[in-house]
Amino acid sequence: MADAPSQPATNDVELAEQLRGAVNRLNRLLRQESLGGISPAQASMLGMADRLETPTLGELAKAEQIQPPTMTRLVAQMESAGLIERIADPSDRRICRVKVTAKGRRELQRIRTRKTAFLVERIASLDEADQASLGRLVELLEILGQTT
């Protein structure tokens, strides 16, 4: 496991920079450990499509912060892999929506299971005091992640 920062933060900016770096490194490790056969962009899009249920391609592109042509290519790849399907909007047949297939939901579950297993292994390597501290950190991260 990577070493903790050698110097504690002395102000809010340093703390924010350390937190950002630590979260980014952990996120990168989780992606590397869990994705397997799909790209990070595909996994992100699959998860967002699942959360939004049946978004339009435009809604999905906006949520993922990518350009519509890029989303169209990504959807085509995911559709050919059987992870999502395109469906017509019931109120306007000109609008295309996407829906995660059963195979796509299984892929999402596999990714989530692998990420959890990775974290369980890392957490188990910590002593009890650090595990308790980690519990409090999770609470604080939840607070930081709340939308206003």
Q: Is 79 helix (H, G, I), strand (E, B) or coil?
A: helix
- Give residue-wise pLDDT tens across range 88-105: 988 888 888 999 999 999
pLDDT at 94: 85
- Which of 1.10.357.10, 3.40.50.2000, 1.10.10.10, 2.40.50.180 would CATH assign to domain 31-144? 1.10.10.10
* β-strands 84-88, 96-100 pairing: antiparallel
> Among positive and negative, which fits the CA dihedral 121, 126, 129, 130?
negative
pTM for this one? 0.75
Where does the pLDDT of residue 40 fall: very low under 50, low under 70, confident under 90, or very high at 90 and above? confident
Domain ranges of the chain: 31-144
- Give residue-wise pLDDT tens across range 46-101: 999 999 999 999 999 999 999 999 999 999 999 999 999 999 988 888 888 999 99
Instruction: Round the CA-based radius of gyration of the chain to a whole number and report it.
Output: 19
Cβ atoms within 10 Å, residue 2: 9
